[in-house]
Amino acid sequence: MNSMIISVLIPALTAFTIGIFITPIVTHFLYKHKVWKKQGGKTALGGHEAVEFNRLKGEAETKTPRMGGIIIWASVLITLIGTYILSNLLPDTFLGDLGYLSRSQTLIPSAALVVGAIIGFLNDFYDVTHTGKGLRLSTRLGLITILSGVLGWWFYNKLGVTDISIPFDGTLELGIFIIPFFILLTIVLYASGIIDGIDGLSGGVFASVFAAYTGIAIVQSQFELAVFCATVVGATMAFLWFNVPPARFWMTETGSMALTLSLATVVFMTDSLGDGHGISLLPIVGFPLVITVFTNILQLLYRRCTGKKLFRIAPIHHHFEAIGWPSYKVTMRYWIISVFCAVIGVILATLA
């Protein structure tokens, strides 16, 4: 067990170190080319001006570079590919045990990470070059639906996943409907990416969630998947080092989409495929992500039914800012909640 934990920590520390070293290069590029919105503010989902958001964040959007998520996925990919190459070049050394890229456990989440990063990068590029208007939401959702549909089909047809685990009560058989279920799960997780709205918030939350699934994968003896999750944690912590207030850059879509899409595959792989309960544990482990999506939906429904707002601004972390909480207080309290949720999730994984 000790050697396993050490082997998991090595890629995490490697990704963190790589992230720290490449950040000055990325930062120089982002500031040199002024990779931020040229016009601040945004429109709410209902089509009206997001007055509260623009009051809180509108000006900052024209001063803070976007695409900081490059740090995360670049660090993960360099680490995974680098260790894989070294393990093949030096198979008789300790490096020979560091080849973690495998078709069975890490290839799918790695592919989701890359595709999510590319789509998110395109959105961020248009956001910067087209007066703050990225790819249309319908376009992004369409691309995500296609991607998740392909991945859902792979889980169903190639890996034989047809059910989800229910803690203490067996399984729920879905058959081919496992594909639309995976699509729905992916879209919900993608929607949770809007938690990237306060300096340091998304980095801390995503690091905690992936740390929890690192532990869950270890409990379920999915060693290579645990390495992937730990590598994401290390890379995210490097991003967070520079994203704490005042943020040097924001994660934006190229980071949040990469993380949420790969997280969807990790959640699925730690479920029935790994003889565990990854899906059922998600509402606990990812509670801050879930509440982000839930409060956004509540706000939209309440406004349509009553013509009034339930929260000053949704999602709820911005509501706390609007009522007077300093942004750093919101961030740190979210971090605390995320850590507790991660710990509870891992404990439940050992019991269920």
Closest CA to 195 of 38, 97, 320: 320
Helix (H) / strand (E) containing 305: helix 287-306
Two tokens at 219?
């409990």
User: Which of 43-47, 166-170, 229-233 has the least mean pLDDT?
Assistant: 43-47
- Tell me the C-alpha distance between 69 and 59, whole Å: 21
Higher pLDDT, 132 or 293: 293
- Tell me the C-alpha distance between 333 and 204, whole Å: 11
Q: What mean pLDDT is reported for the chain?
A: 89
Closest CA to 192 of 91, 249, 264: 264
Higher pLDDT, 44 or 136: 136
Determine the average pLDDT of the residues in 330-345. 97
- Tell me the C-alpha distance between 114 and 112, whole Å: 5
**What single letter denotes the amino acid at residue 26?**
V
Higher pLDDT, 2 or 229: 229
- Tell me the C-alpha distance between 31 and 26, whole Å: 9
| Residue-level pLDDT at 16 | 98
User: Which of 11-25, 31-45, 70-84, 195-209 has the least mean pLDDT?
Assistant: 31-45
User: Which of 40-44, 73-77, 95-99, 155-159 has the least mean pLDDT?
Assistant: 40-44
Q: How many CB atoms lie within 10 A of CB 188?
A: 18
* Half-sphere exposure (Cβ direction) of 318: Cα atoms closer than 13 Å: 24
Structure confidence by residue, pLDDT tens digits, 56-77: 665 666 778 999 999 999 999 9
- Tell me the C-alpha distance between 23 and 16, whole Å: 11
Determine the average pLDDT of the residues in 316-328. 92
Predicted confidence (pLDDT) at residue 127 exceeds the cutoff of 90: no
Residues above pLDDT 70, as percent of the chain: 89
Higher pLDDT, 134 or 72: 72
Determine the average pLDDT of the residues in 332-345. 97
Predicted confidence (pLDDT) at residue 285 exceeds the cutoff of 70: yes
In the structure, what pLDDT confidence band is assigned to residue 46 with cuts at 50, 70 and 90?
Answer: low
Determine the average pLDDT of the residues in 41-61. 58
| Residue-level pLDDT at 91 | 77
Q: State the Rg of the chain over Cα.
A: 20
Structure confidence by residue, pLDDT tens digits, 175-210: 999 999 999 999 999 999 999 889 999 999 999 999
Residues above pLDDT 90, as percent of the chain: 67
In the structure, what pLDDT confidence band is assigned to residue 79 with cuts at 50, 70 and 90?
Answer: very high
Q: How many CB atoms lie within 10 A of CB 207?
A: 24
Two tokens at 176?
């081919």
Determine the average pLDDT of the residues in 215-226. 93
Determine the average pLDDT of the residues in 87-102. 73
Sign of the C-alpha dihedral, residues 320, 196, 25, 107? positive
Predicted confidence (pLDDT) at residue 98 exceeds the cutoff of 80: no
Q: What are the residue ranges spanned by the domains of the chain?
A: 2-351
| Residue-level pLDDT at 55 | 61
